[in-house]
Structure 1
């Protein structure tokens, strides 16, 4: 049997396909995104989509990754919810979880405190 070293296999795959990206659909964290996707010739980018939000102890997030032909790069963070799309264009470049737009816990706490003060301030 002839065994091909892993680095040689990676080099062949990299040259054979235009782009290879990490892929997952609705994973709760980056640990659920260890699958590779070989992009078609129409795909120019690897994309990571992050959606998350929460109040207090209750929070959730969803990460999706894969190949896309056009990059719809965007992001929004309103304290209790955040969403972002980040793109890159090299071999397995979308390893991060677009964490720069994840909901900030300090902003969440301040928003909840302001809501309670507004709602119950007249009774205190």
Structure 2
């Protein structure tokens, strides 16, 4: 019975879900998707200047398709991210958000430039 249960869970898609939340901390409710759903989708609407977000809303859900939304109109953006594995839509960021700074070649003894993490951006 445990093997059968594990197999059923493995074949089912689970995604984090929330509706129009201000913080990703409010988007940690796991939900089993329907058999028709193939994607976990995260939609992020935000208003800000550069990396300073003045307003943000996050929606996460199961979906039968992967919408491609990547709009930017002045200070406002609306972006969608899709994934297809168990609880893969944990973050509200598209991958790892690191900004790197390169040192001067003269500071690095190797022929390759030295790459140092400068800071991590919150999402």
Using the size of structure 2 for normalisation, the TM-score is 0.63
Which 10-residue stretch deviates more, 20-29 or 91-100?
91-100
Task: Report the CA distance shift for 1:58/1:41 in structure 2 as closer, same or farther (over 3 A).
Answer: closer
Q: How far 1:99 moved relative to its partner?
A: 5.3
Match for residue 22 of structure 2? Answer: 28
Using the size of structure 1 for normalisation, the TM-score is 0.62
Higher helix share: 1
- Runs of 5+ consecutive residues of structure 1 not aligned to the other structure: 1-10, 101-124
CA contact (8 A) 2:43 2:81 kept: yes
Q: How far 1:59 moved relative to its partner?
A: 2.2
Paired positions, count: 91
Q: Within 5 Å, give how 1:1-124 maps onto structure 2.
A: 11=6, 14-15=9-10, 18-54=12-48, 59-98=54-93
Q: How far 1:58 moved relative to its partner?
A: 8.6
- Runs of 5+ consecutive residues of structure 2 not aligned to the other structure: 1-5, 96-123
The CA RMSD over aligned residues, in Å, is: 2.8
